[in-house]
Amino acid sequence: MNIYDFNVLAQNGEEVSLRKFEGKVLLVVNTATKCGFTPQYDALEKMYEELKDQGFEILDFPCNQFFRQAPGTDEEINTFCTLKFNTKFTRFKKIEVKGGNADPLYKWLITQNEKGKPQSIKWNFTKFLINRKGEVVARFAPTDKPEGFANRVKEELLK
């Protein structure tokens, strides 16, 4: 199983196969617009602009599970991110990333580690680096700034 086996919902509610991103290096992020880590959108957009032509994509999944820091509709979240941070990477419908109602993608992502045991999402801006084969190759904590792992992303793009 890999990330391409999953379907997610676009902001408009249409189902999207992640197979559409096959062969690209992906960074999957659960985000929030009213979080202390929200300014990471600037660095994420910078990384996306620098690397998108090399086959890099960021998949943004807003989540309101952590102290309701992603309020508003999907459209309001998208407008905020576009106007405040000029983001151009792909943003999906708001989801849950932990608990019984967690999106199936996230239920899978949290098991992708050396122990194979679920490692739950503790906060907004947890990031998963996916290689061109659709496999999780790294996980970055909310406190890990994009500038700090940019070289790891670039290494993956060279493979």
Q: Is 35 part of the annotated catalytic residue set?
A: yes
Q: Which of 18, 25, 27, 35 is catalytic?
A: 35
Count of H-run helices and E-run strands, the chain: 4, 7
C-beta of residue 120 within 8 angstroms of C-beta of residue 97: no
Nearest to 59 by CA among 74, 44, 69, 73: 44
Token reading at 79: 């407008």
- Sign (positive/negative) of CA torsion 124, 129, 134, 135? negative
User: What positions carry a catalytic annotation?
Assistant: 35
